[in-house]
Each structure stands twice: as C-alpha cells, then as structure tokens.
C-alpha cells in the first residue's frame, strides 16, 4: 500500500507531460522491494503485480507477466544504478536529478542530452548486472545454459559441455525488456521522437556492452599436483562502482549525433566523412561503445519542470574548492547561505561482530554552505 502511495506522490511531484513518463517506469520499477524473492507467495499469486508498475509499455508488460520473478532484479538493478549515478555526479550541478537517496529517476529525459544518455546507459547496465548476479543466486530458474526454447536436451547438453555464462543471460534479458519499448512505437523517420528512440537504444546497448566488457575471467589451475596444464576460468562480473567509473568516462567523451534524411544516426562534426560515419550502416568498432546525444545540455542551474531539471538550489557546496563542487560553480553565481550545523556522528567505533559496530556519539560542529 505504501508503495502505491509513494508512486502517487512521485507522479504528483513530477506531473511532467508525456516525456517524463518515459522515465516513470524506471522509477516505479526501482521502488520494487529489493528483497522480494519468488518463494514468498505474497506477490506470485497477485496477478495484477505488473499492472502496479506504472508506465510499462505493452511489450514490457508481457515480459513482466512471463518473468515475474525477474522484476525485483530489474528494480534492484535500477536502484543500484541510480545510487551509483548519484555517487558519480555528487559534485556536479546535475546530480542525476533525483532527490538524494530516493531511488527515483529524475525527469531528465525530455531532451536528448549527454546526461540522458548516461542515465539510460547506467540503468541498462545496472539491470544487466543484477540479472547476472541473481542467476548465481540460483533463484531465477531460466538463467544461462542454452536458449530456453529447447529445454528437452538441456540436461544432456549440460552433462556434455557445461553451461553458458550468466552475464550473457543478463545481457539478453535486459535487451529484451528495456529495448522493447523503443521498438514498439513507430515514429515518422525524420521526427525528433524517432531520433530519441534511436539514441536511447544506442545508449542502452552501450551500458550493456560495458557490463559485458568489464566482465573478466578469473582462472584456477587444477592439473596434476595443482599444475596449470588444466585451467578453468569463470567470468567475474564487475562491481557497480567499476560500471559507474567506466560509464562516466564514456559520458565525458560522448559524441553528438544527428538524424539524417534517411532517418539514420550520424556523427556530427565530421563533414567530409559524412557518408562513411553513417554508422548504422557501417558499424565502426570505436563508435559502438560510445555514448551518443542529440541536444545540448542546459546549465542545470534553475528548477525547470518543463525542461526537466531540478536546479541547484539548496545543494550544499564547498567554499574555496576549485572543482565543480565549489560554491561559485554549483550555485551558478547566485551566492550561498552559511549555516552552522551540529551533527551527532559516530566515532571511536569498535568492531564487535559481523553486523554490529559499537560507537560513541560525538558532537560535531560544522559550517555548511547551501546554494541560494
């Protein structure tokens, strides 16, 4: 019940028009209980579960019904992606446009900016990652091994030559589930919406590819007397932090694209190679893993629901810093208020056992600068 209420609050908070709805489905999915397991009956029996998720496209709705046990994984993946995004951009003017810690995807999707590109990529990477992780937990029955459509021979296949990789499954599922909504609608070839759809799909793919690329083999030698003539490797998935780091560096080198007459993407700024860089026809290796964007970013200084920015008002800044988190930069020249804040924080902590740390409480007096 609380969840539905939350969703309601979200939609009131961001009563943005059609475009913001694009993001709403992420928010609603990210609110799924992360700790749901398919064995708990409360959700399995409730058929309208998928209907509770606002903003799913018809195709996504269908996949949700079929793979209901995957949905908490999608939610958890989205949530982790959002908190990683917040971590990566905590010092920037654009801080994922989310109220900190809420787990909502902000309304950044109106324009096809670099930031939108990053958000799509990290969300899709997060889902790929989490599905792959849950496969290893043994709670998703349909993971890995062969394609699911011929399970008769599965046992034989497995005995003969082993199983496939969990990340591949995560990749496939994320591709099906996230990209399906972009494929369902058909826009006129030269419309803006068509361009956005191409851009989203491209950036989703970059996020998934990064996850796959950062998946590294780890090996164990187990030949005679432990010698290395027999070696078995398994794929180890990256941490969310590694994914975030990789995507941020891609964000910095993101490429601007435009949609040409034929409705294909092409990179802006290479006029002499215009025909060659038409990369939907001639896929180039180095473009395939680059983020792409269509529009310039706003300065993210002011709250502007229509443009989809939350602004920097009320953000804490750092005096004397020379980085993007400095008060001059972050507050966009509007100045800042200085408060003295008394905080109680843990200190002199003593490790007791796994899940408890016994600390003393210390009183800290700090000055905080908040943007006007």
Partner 1 sequence: MSGAVIENLSTRKLCFMLASLLAAAIVFFLVGGLISPEPSSSMSFLMTKCEDRALKNDWLYLRPKMNCKPLHFETYVPQPGGNLRDVVFVAQMPHVRGGITLEYSPWFQFLLGLLDIDIEYDPDRHLAENALLQLEVRLGYRTHDDPPTTWHELISTTVTRRLDCSIAEDKKEPNAAYNCSVMDLFELGSNAYPFYLINIRLPVNEEQCMKDPSGPNCAIGRLKDLSIIEIHQNGGFTKIWLAMKTLLTPFVLAATIWYWSRIRQLTRQPYLLEKAIFALGVSLASLDFPLEWLSLWFRLPFMLLVCDLRQGLFYAMLFSFWLIFTGEHLIEDSSRNSLIAYWRHLAFVVVASLCLLVYDMCERGIQLSNPFYSIWSTSVGTNLAYAIIYVASLCALLYFVFLVYKVGRVWSTIKRKRAAALQMNRNRRLKFEMIIYRFKFLMALTVVCAGFTIASYIMKQYGESQMHSDEFMESPLVNSTSAFFTGTFGLWNIYVILLLAMYAPSHKQYAGAVRVDDDDDDLGEPTATEQSVLATFVKPAVD
Q: How far is the CB of 47 from partner 1 (least distance, A)?
A: 20
Task: Check residue 221 for interaction with partner 1 (CB under 8 A).
Answer: no
Q: How far is the CB of 63 from partner 1 (least distance, A)?
A: 17
Nearest Cα neighbor of 303 from 2, 3, 4, 16 is 16
Q: Which residue's CB is nearer to partner 1, number 143 or number 178?
A: 143
C-alpha angle 331-333-335 in degrees, rounded to nearest 5: 70
Binders of partner 1: how many residues, by CB under 8 A? 58
The span from the CA of 151 to the CA of 142, in Å, is 10
Q: Which residue's CB is nearer to partner 1, number 149 or number 272?
A: 149
Task: Check residue 283 for interaction with partner 1 (CB under 8 A).
Answer: no
Task: Check residue 9 for interaction with partner 1 (CB under 8 A).
Answer: no
Question: Tokens 């606002």 label which residue?
Answer: 54
Write the burial class of residue 44 (CB in 10 Å: 0-12 exposed, 13-18 middle, 19+ buried): middle
The span from the CA of 209 to the CA of 125, in Å, is 8
C-alpha angle 346-347-350 in degrees, rounded to nearest 5: 105
Binding mask 26-65 for partner 1 (x = CB under 8 A): --------xx-x-x--------------------------
Question: Tokens 């489905």 label which residue?
Answer: 25
Binding mask 90-129 for partner 1 (x = CB under 8 A): ----------------------------------------
Q: First CA to last CA across the chain, in angstroms? A: 37
Binding mask 173-212 for partner 1 (x = CB under 8 A): ----------------------------------------
Task: Check residue 13 for interaction with partner 1 (CB under 8 A).
Answer: no
Q: How far is the CB of 356 from partner 1 (least distance, A)?
A: 6
Binding partner 1 by CB under 8 A: which of 17, 141, 314, 335? 141
Q: Which residue's CB is nearer to partner 1, number 218 or number 365?
A: 218
At residue 63, the 3 state secondary structure works out as helix
Question: Tokens 């949530």 label which residue?
Answer: 79
Only one of the segments 19-27, 108-116, 148-156, 256-264 lies at the binding site for partner 1 (rule: CB under 8 A); that segment is 148-156
At residue 217, the 3 state secondary structure works out as strand
Task: Check residue 359 for interaction with partner 1 (CB under 8 A).
Answer: yes
Task: Check residue 362 for interaction with partner 1 (CB under 8 A).
Answer: no
Q: What is the CA radius of gyration of the chain?
A: 23
Q: How far is the CB of 158 from partner 1 (least distance, A)?
A: 5
Contact between 324 and 330 (Cβ < 8 Å): yes
Q: How far is the CB of 176 from partner 1 (least distance, A)?
A: 16
The span from the CA of 31 to the CA of 13, in Å, is 15
The span from the CA of 230 to the CA of 222, in Å, is 6
Query: What is the Cβ-side half-sphere exposure of residue 100, based on CA atoms within 13 angstroms?
Result: 11
- Which residues here bind partner 1, judged by CB under 8 A? 34-35, 37, 39, 133-139, 141-146, 148, 151, 154-155, 158-163, 166, 213, 216-218, 220, 222, 224-226, 229-236, 239, 241, 285, 346, 349, 351-357, 359
């Amino acid at each position: 019940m609380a969840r539905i209420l939350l969703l309601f609050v979200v939609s009131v908070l961001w009563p943005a028009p059609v475009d913001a709805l694009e993001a709403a489905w992420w928010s609603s999915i990210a609110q799924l209980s992360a700790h749901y397991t398919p064995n708990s009956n409360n959700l399995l029996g409730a058929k309208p579960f998928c209907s509770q998720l606002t903003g799913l496209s018809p195709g996504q709705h269908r996949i949700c019904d079929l793979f209901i046990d995957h949905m908490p994984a999608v939610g958890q993946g989205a949530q982790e992606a959002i908190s990683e995004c917040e971590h990566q951009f905590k010092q920037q003017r654009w801080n994922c446009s989310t109220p900190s810690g809420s787990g909502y995807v902000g309304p950044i999707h109106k324009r096809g900016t670099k930031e939108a590109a990053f958000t799509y990529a990290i969300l899709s990477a997060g889902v790929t990652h989490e599905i792959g992780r849950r496969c290893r937990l043994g709670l998703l029955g349909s993971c890995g091994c062969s394609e699911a459509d011929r399970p008769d021979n599965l046992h034989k296949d497995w005995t003969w030559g082993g199983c496939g990789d969990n990340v591949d499954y995560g990749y496939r599922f994320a591709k099906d589930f996230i990209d399906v909504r972009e494929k369902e609608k058909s826009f006129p070839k030269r419309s803006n919406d068509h361009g956005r759809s191409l851009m989203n799909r491209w950036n989703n793919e970059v996020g998934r590819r990064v996850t796959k690329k950062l998946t590294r083999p780890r090996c164990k030698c187990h030949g005679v007397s432990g010698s290395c003539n027999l070696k078995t490797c398994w794929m180890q998935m990256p941490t969310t932090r590694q994914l975030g780091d990789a995507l941020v560096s891609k964000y910095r080198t993101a490429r601007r694209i435009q949609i040409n007459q034929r409705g294909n993407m092409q990179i802006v700024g290479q006029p002499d190679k215009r025909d060659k860089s038409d990369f939907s026809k001639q896929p180039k290796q180095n473009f395939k893993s680059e983020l792409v964007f269509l529009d310039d970013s706003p300065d993210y200084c002011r709250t502007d629901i229509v443009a989809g920015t939350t602004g920097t008002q009320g953000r804490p800044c750092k005096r004397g810093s020379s980085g993007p988190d400095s008060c001059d930069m972050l507050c966009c020249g509007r100045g800042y208020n200085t408060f003295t804040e008394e905080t109680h924080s843990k200190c002199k902590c003593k490790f007791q056992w796994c899940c408890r740390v016994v600390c003393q409480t210390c009183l800290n007096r700090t000055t905080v600068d908040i943007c006007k």
